[in-house]
């Protein structure tokens, strides 16, 4: 029996993140789609299929928190793991209050990412 692997969508304007994260996520047993902007993700067919969203905080155009807000307005409850090159602690409480699962500062460990995704998906 083939079980469908959960889809994790990665939204980050940094091309190196979009190139490196999919390999790691596939090692975790997940399906992956990448997007270079929040607008690209929100316009895609993958919004309704996404089981977990890895979302950069600061991007040109629509920021990660703006994408989170748009998803809330659309009533799409997708667990979000925020990632940021900046210090996470200043914005972390606000992001978690709005429903994010975690906020990780780059560079983050594979273990920290795996734990955050597992928490988002409700798995161990």
Does residue 107 register a pLDDT over 70? yes
pLDDT at 32: 97
Does residue 1 register a pLDDT over 60? no
CA torsion angle for 106, 110, 116, 120 (degrees, to 10)? 120
Q: 3: pLDDT confidence band, cut at 50, 70 and 90?
A: low
Does residue 105 register a pLDDT over 60? yes
Question: Cα(89)–Cα(27) distance, rounded to whole angstroms?
Answer: 29
CA torsion angle for 36, 38, 44, 47 (degrees, to 10)? 120
CATH superfamily of 7-121: Response regulator (3.40.50.2300)
Domain definitions of the chain by residue range: 7-121
pLDDT tens digit string along 31-72?
999 999 999 999 999 999 999 999 999 999 999 999 999 999
Average of pLDDT values for 90-115? Answer: 93
Collapse the DSSP code of 7 into the 3-class scheme (helix H, G, I; strand E, B; otherwise coil) and give the result. strand
Does residue 2 register a pLDDT over 70? no
């Amino acid at each position: 029996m083939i079980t469908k692997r959960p889809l994790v969508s990665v939204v980050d304007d940094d091309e190196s993140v979009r190139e490196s994260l999919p390999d790691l996520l596939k090692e975790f047993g997940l399906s992956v789609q990448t997007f270079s902007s929040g607008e690209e993700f929100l316009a895609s067919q993958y919004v309704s299929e996404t089981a977990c969203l890895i979302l950069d905080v600061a991007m040109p155009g629509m920021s990660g928190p703006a994408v989170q807000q748009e998803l809330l307005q659309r009533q799409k409850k997708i667990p979000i793991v925020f990632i940021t090159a900046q210090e996470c602690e200043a914005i972390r409480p606000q992001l978690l209050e709005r429903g994010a699962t975690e906020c990780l500062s780059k560079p983050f460990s594979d273990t920290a990412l795996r734990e955050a995704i597992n928490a988002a998906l409700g798995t161990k």
